[in-house]
A and B are shown apart, each in its own frame.
Chain A
Amino acid sequence: MKISGSYTMQAPREAIWDKLIDPDAIAGCLPGVEQLEKVGENEYTMAMTVGVGPVRGTYSGKVSLANLNPPESYEMHIEGSGRPGFVKGTGMLRLAEGANGSTEITYEGDVEVGGPVGSVAQRMLGGVARRMVEQFFSCIEKQISGG
């Protein structure tokens, strides 16, 4: 399944970049994150509870960042599984300077899902993912403006 979108943030690119590679900021802003631990350079283990339609449960797995090109782009690899099934995907995040000091974030990813979440809830997955991304960026934005 392909996921893509964009978000405009009223914050400088560098500030956003710092947040987007900060495990504490990610853990604090991504809905449902229960645990996020750094296990290596740009490598994290993560546990996260997500509900997609009727399928709700905890996924645990790995997140790694690659091809870091501060403050412009990085690649993200995720791999997680749990009772609701499994998720495996690759995404690309790009930060571009926008008008009036804003930053335009664009993301695109290809995610493979399986198990109950794949067969029962896949129709709803796109919408849920988009909502979670929105929540995540708006939380990051608040963190930057508040702190």
Chain B
Amino acid sequence: MAVTKMFGASVKRREDPRMITGRANYTDDVRLPGTLSLVILRSPYAHARIKSINVEKARQMPGVVAVYTGKDLVDSLAPVPCAWLPPNSDLKVPEYRALAVDTVRYVGDGVAAVVAENRYQAQDAAAAIEVEYEMLPAVVDQEKATQDGAPQLYADVPNNTAFVWRLAGGDIDAALRDADVVVSQRLINHRLIPTAMEPRAAVAHYNPGSGELTLWCTSQNPHIHRLLMSAVTGIPETKIRVIATDVGGGFGSKIPFYAGEMIAVAISKDLGRPVKWVEDRRENFVATTHGRDHIDYVDVAAKQDGTITGIRVKAYANMGAYLSTAAPGVPTWLFGLMLSGPYKIPNISVEVHGVLTNTTPTDAYRGAGRPEATYVLERMMDLVADRLGMDPVEVRRKNFIPKEEFPYTVATTLQYDSGDYEAALNRALEIVGYEQFRKEQEAARAQGRLLGIGFSTYVEVCGLAPSQAAGAMGFQGGLWESATVRVHPSGKVSVFTGSNPHGQGEETTFAQLVADELGVPLDDVEIVHGDTGRIPFGMGTYGSRSTAVGGSALIYAARKVRDKGAKIAAHLLEVSPDDIVFDQGRYYVKGAPDRVKTFQEVAGAAYLAWNMPEGVTPGLEETHFFDPINNTYPFGTHVCVVEVDPATGKVQFLRYVAVDDVGNVINPMIVDGQVHGGIAQGLAQAVYETAVYDENGQLLSGSLMDYALPTASMVPTYEVDRTVTPTPVNPMGLKGAGETGTIASTPAVVNAIIDALKPYGITHLDMPLTPQRIWQAIQESQKGS
């Protein structure tokens, strides 16, 4: 049987047919008899005391089964937990109740819950609940929130400061003192709304007879949600099954453990009936976590020749009204550790203030902390180049960590696994035709046309691991991954992975890995994920870790299977296992390829077990838990070319070149797709998307009419290429490709636009660079001259 090598093949995604033909099984598609509809009444005020709640009218409405307020759930639900507790940061975790008990702290905070026979009835009844609020002053800006006299969200969190986290390497004060130039800039990395295509949803089915809870929900990490659900409800983990197999996108917003799912479970347990809760889009905008929202004060120390000697960052991170599950880790570790980027910067100091405000809680959003760090570095590189009159490419090149020096330990203590930053940069320059472009730009400027080019030479940390590091960072979990490879008697293979792909395509790429390891056809491999009733305990999908960590676990499990098969084949062929060669699904005797047992024959023999070698147990199934020795560090160069219309401020994208290095690639088509989607999201932050609150805490961009999620016509064609620098930290030599595009693209786009505006003396503008903002900047620059 000839099996071609699957690693490196652009196999079409096997999950797509069911998804694009409406046959996927999303949470809202789960229809159990007798299911009640849950609607959560949410606060229209950003900050208010609940004076009274009258639910009597709602209770009398048709179809209504029960109405709950915050007080009704205090005994059955512990507070919503926070599970990333950075040490030495004076962290204060305020109490976060599933439904507010006496005070609401953001627009969207849950106030009451209604269950009815159908959604319409529940919605109508929720509208009939009378809540009397006493409005309190609100604060939405994280800098203002830390000032004396600002409205206070909690009596026990002075100045709304939930934590102050610091990290330093080298001597930043000396670096700033001895620098030839110090370049300083305040940068705003504004708030974004993840907007997954599938909003959050839950179907909770508590069986009072067995005491078992089945929860279908939209989760990136179902075992984590099972563990936390057990902790908040008291239902033993062994009695909870969480199913999140088909999830319509997450981008980080489906990592956290939320109130909505908890309420559905508590009510199902109370009533003994299945309860379904599905966010509508408006609810998703306020009730699912937001991302980014940093204000960064940056000082960079440099020498006259462009050598960067130090960087100091003081950041104010807007955490929203409560600390979401992983939230404290995002603006601290995932941001601060990456402030060296791909550069040798010997002196680094970072201080992050995590601030509570009357806004939707923030948490991980595609890239989580690394886009913020990359934006800081890549914007500052251009500002340093501008100050020194250097080419921005040369400043970057001058400071790159050379390829000979890997593994390289940066001042923030991370050890980068492997890299060749200059190769990716050179490839990108070649594709874009850099020298030629600068000539064209000059000619265009002479005609009054504004062309600009922007670079982002990035490195990011993904394949998030190892568990020991997670512990040191205060992450309340491990960062390993699990896999079970079960070979059935027919030789077909089921793989049970602890990763939980929700758009990343691992049903395809994982099958490619197993097909190669066991020499079986791709179609014989089934990937099972997202169901805690079927899979081993797993950590889930985030931080571009599934293939690097989960993929490694299944490679090792598959190799254990293969080795056991070799023992069985040797026994059947009456030779020593050392004399067995395995190739493309066949075990044969070394030097005698006609003496052979196929993988399928061996699988059958393992289950019949009529004739097993001594000491070998029946069956063919192995599990492996993999905890890598390090993270992985993908890198690359993104280049954006734009033309800005000076009359309107409108940006036209002329080219977008991405050269990424994610190590070895299992499926180039899937990686290209990840890069495309990532760039679209990062570019959208640069020019389109922004979450806007008014000063009273009302979310003004609360719908898809107001929040500018880009469509295909709003993004350019991408020219994607790759260099390949394998990592030594996993058996495949691959890194991670889920977030590179988002991390790299935002500063590339901003740098391109600022470069285009150079004739006006504009050196920085805060995002999103809308036509209005650009036009205004042009007008203001001309007023001065």
Chain A interfacial positions (CB closer than 8 Å to B): 1, 81, 83, 85-86, 88, 112-116, 118-120, 122-123
Contact = CB atoms under 8 A, between A and B. Distances in A.
A1 B696 CA distance: 10
B127 interface: yes
A112 B696 CA distance: 8
Given A118-B702, A119-B286, 14 more contacts: A85-B44, A86-B44, A113-B698, A114-B45, A115-B44, A118-B44, A118-B698, A118-B700, A119-B282, A119-B285, A120-B702, A120-B706, A122-B694, A122-B700
B107 interface: yes
A119 B699 contact: yes
Size category of the binding interface on chain B: 10 to 19
A120 B44 contact: no
B705 A120 contact: yes
A119 B706 contact: yes
A120 B282 contact: yes
A117 B515 CA distance: 54
A83 B124 CA distance: 9
Interface string B334-377: 00000000000000000000000000000000000000000000
A119 B45 contact: no
B703 interface: yes
22 contacts: A81-B44, A86-B44, A86-B45, A112-B696, A112-B698, A113-B698, A114-B45, A114-B107, A116-B282, A118-B44, A118-B700, A119-B107, A119-B285, A119-B698, A119-B700, A119-B702, A120-B702, A120-B703, A120-B705, A120-B706, A122-B698, A122-B700
A119 B696 CA distance: 12
Contacts of A118: 44, 107, 694, 698-700, 702
Nearest to B128: A83
A115 B44 CA distance: 5
A3 B431 CA distance: 53
A90 to B, nearest CB: 14
A116 B123 CA distance: 14
Contact of A114 (B696, B705, B706): B696
Contacts of A120: 282, 702-703, 705-706
A86 B135 CA distance: 12
Q: Is the interface of A mostly helix, strand, loop or mixed?
A: mixed
* Those 5 A-B pairs whose CB atoms lie nearest each other, nearest first: A119-B702, A115-B44, A114-B44, A118-B698, A120-B703
Contact of B706 (A85, A113, A123): A123
Nearest to B703: A120
Nearest to B45: A114
Interface in B645-702: 694, 696, 698-702
A13 B698 CA distance: 39
A2 B712 CA distance: 36
Contacts of A119: 107, 282, 285-286, 698-703, 706
A42 B696 CA distance: 28
A119 B46 CA distance: 12
Contacts of B286: 119
Name, among A81, A118, A119, the residue most crowded by chain B CB atoms within 10 Å (CB to CB).
A119
Given A113-B698, A120-B706, A83 B44 contact: no
Nearest to B702: A119
Contacts of A86: 44-45
A132 B285 CA distance: 30
A113 B44 CA distance: 9
Contacts of A1: 694
A83 B42 CA distance: 12
A111 B486 CA distance: 64
A51 to B, nearest CB: 15
A81 B700 CA distance: 18
Contacts of B127: 83
Contacts of B706: 119-120, 123
A1 B46 CA distance: 16
A4 B45 CA distance: 25
A114 B695 CA distance: 12
Interface in B696-751: 696, 698-703, 705-706
Contacts of A116: 282
A64 to B, nearest CB: 17
Contacts of B45: 86, 114
A123 B698 CA distance: 13
Contacts of B698: 112-114, 118-119, 122
Contacts of A85: 44
Contacts of A83: 127
Interface in B94-133: 107, 127
Contacts of B699: 118-119
